[in-house]
Amino acid sequence: MESNNHDEQFDKQYFERHKEEIEKINQMALELEKNRRIQRLVTKFKTEQIKNSLEAGMYIRFKDRRDNQYIRKVTRVNKNYPYKLYAEIDIDEEANNVKGVDLKNIIQAEYDITDLLECNDLLYVDISPDDWGGIVVPRIAESLGELNDFKEKLKNGSWILKGVVAWQNINNICYWLGEEI
């Protein structure tokens, strides 16, 4: 009985000495939970927005279950699933192992593919579309200014976009000789 009383006394002393720290930790835990709730609401709102606006012919930037990002064109939207809407798109099996994408994994949907491009995406562009045959070269915009310059060239027709690899996926598709960079 005396040992139990000693433990209670120690707990009270410990609590008194660390009261402010414990309150800060509790406050941080409440903030974290609040942020998680907000994040879930934002995801739900974004999913509803995409669900209402997604159409065949749009381009989407999405992530797969391994958080690799891809850009693909929507070929058909199947709205027969009220709770789990899947956008059926042309997609290679390696990217997602299914023929569809869950809306919660869609990051952005646009009619113009250039609106989906981000800094450090690997672009394959024809830099001489007026010449016979064209010259396709890889380009990576390392800054927002450079990306805007690339987008302008694509929109005005001086370059033609031939392919895109999302920057988050470049390391996954590259075979490195030595250490990854």
Would you kindly state where each structural domain of the chain is located, as residue ranges? 2-50, 54-113, 117-173
- 134 against 3, higher pLDDT: 134
Decide if pLDDT at 34 tops 90: no
Could you give the CA distance from residue 74 to residue 55 in angstroms, rounded to a whole number? Answer: 7
110 pairs with which residues across the strands?
59
Instruction: Dig out the tokens for 174 from the structure.
Output: 């590259």
- Residue 121's pLDDT is 92
The rounded mean pLDDT for the chain is 78
State the greatest distance between any 2 C-alpha atoms of the chain, in Å, as a whole number: 95
Q: What is the pLDDT of residues 17-29, one digit of tens each?
A: 888 888 888 888 8
Task: Please give the pLDDT value at position 91.
Answer: 47
Under the banding of pLDDT at 50, 70 and 90, the label for residue 96 is very low
Helices (H), 57-169: 93-96, 144-155
Taking only the tens place, the pLDDT of each residue in 150-160 is 999 999 988 98
pLDDT digits (tens, 9 = 90+) for 54-69: 887 888 888 887 888 8
Instruction: Identify the residue whose tokens are 């952005």.
Output: 108
State in Å, rounded, how far the first CA of the chain is from the last one.
Answer: 63
Confidence of residue 118 (pLDDT cuts 50, 70, 90): very high
Q: Is the pLDDT of residue 173 over 80?
A: no
pLDDT of 155 reads 92
Contact between residue 109 and residue 50 where contact means Cβ atoms under 8 Å apart: yes
pLDDT of residue 54: 80
Instruction: Compute CA distances 12 → 22, 27, 39, 84, whole Å.
Output: 13, 20, 37, 51
